[in-house]
Chains A and B, each alone.
Chain A
Amino acid sequence: MKSKKKKGRMDFTIEEIIPVGEDKNGKYYRFRMVPDKRSWKRAEIGGKSGYLNKFDNTFIPDEEMAKAAKTLKGVPIVVSTVDIGTETEYLEKSKKRVRAGNE
């Protein structure tokens, strides 16, 4: 039976960004990032050091982090494309629509 991969998520904080050059395709940066300290803490489990998730106790040993880090080279950074302005602006926009009959 085919085993199903379950999605997981690890948020990071970028601590340092260093420009490393540019070419016709764009600019390149090297950056240092660490797991978000609000979710992850350093821990040692079963003789292995790594990061422990404070919410669901997922443990990721350093060796697994190192393997994963190697796969990140060249991966584009994804950002949300939704642009609604500020919350106040959005609520004003909503009020206008509702008053106009939101048809």
Chain B
Amino acid sequence: MNKGGLPILENKQLELVVLYADLVGSTKSVKNLDPNQVRRFYTIFLNEMTYVINDFGGRILKYVGDCVIGFFGLPSVGWIPQIDNSVLCALIMQKVMTYSISPIAQSEGLPPMSCRIGMDYGEVQVVNIGVKGIYTEVDVFGDAMNIAKKICDEAQSREILIGKNLWQLIYTSYKMRCQKKKSLVRNGDSYDLYSLS
């Protein structure tokens, strides 16, 4: 799948759940590994997270270093199921890290692994960038992208941290599992973040 089906949505404005899943402390972890181990260390995480996001109806936007960026909210599917699927996906991603990826990595002689997840809901713009004949790509820009990245940076290892915009739209059962944790400054205002467990 090329960019999660985004090229057909070029120049469109969408409302999406944006999910950042970032491998914690990877630079330090790979310091003493040989090149094959380094390759396995990153692919074991990025590939399995890709499967999980795909299995929950999300799409992969891109990989940035040891971070996978996914989104949920294609216009062809109702927004409520996609919001619930995104939250369930994040919960399962952390379980997959704990019970699948990390123990198997350690059994292969790799260091323990953990990730942090940041998510939010909001408007994005799908844009074709680059110079024809040299390099072009379709990418996503917008407040939801920026804020989800900042939220991910604020999250602790093994934590799922979500922004208020997403928190307001999630299913009651998930909302009851959230704890208001901290705030970010967003457009000059305080913006609440919630830890989901």
What does DSSP make chain A's interface, helix, strand, loop or mixed? loop
Could you tell me if B104 and A99 are in contact, using CB atoms closer than 8 angstroms? yes
- The bracket for how many chain B residues form the interface is 20 to 34
How many Å from the CB of B179 to the closest CB on chain A?
Answer: 12
In chain A, positions 37-74 with a C-beta closer than 8 Å to chain B are: 38-39, 55-56
A91/B80 contact (C-beta < 8 A), A98-B101, A99-B104, A102-B43 known:
no
Q: CA–CA, A8 to B168, complex, Å?
A: 7
B88: A residues at CB distance < 8 A? 82
Closest to A78 in B: B78
Could you tell me if A78 and B51 are in contact, using CB atoms closer than 8 angstroms? no
Could you tell me if B85 and A80 are in contact, using CB atoms closer than 8 angstroms? yes
Which of A36, A79, A82, A91 makes the CB contact (< 8 A) with B55?
A82
Could you tell me if B47 and A91 are in contact, using CB atoms closer than 8 angstroms? no
Binding site for B on A (CB under 8 A): 7-9, 11, 36, 38-39, 55-56, 78-82, 84, 87, 90-91, 94-95, 97-99, 102-103
Binding site for A on B (CB under 8 A): 15, 43-44, 47-48, 51-52, 55-57, 77-81, 84-85, 88, 92, 95-96, 99-101, 104, 168-173, 175-176
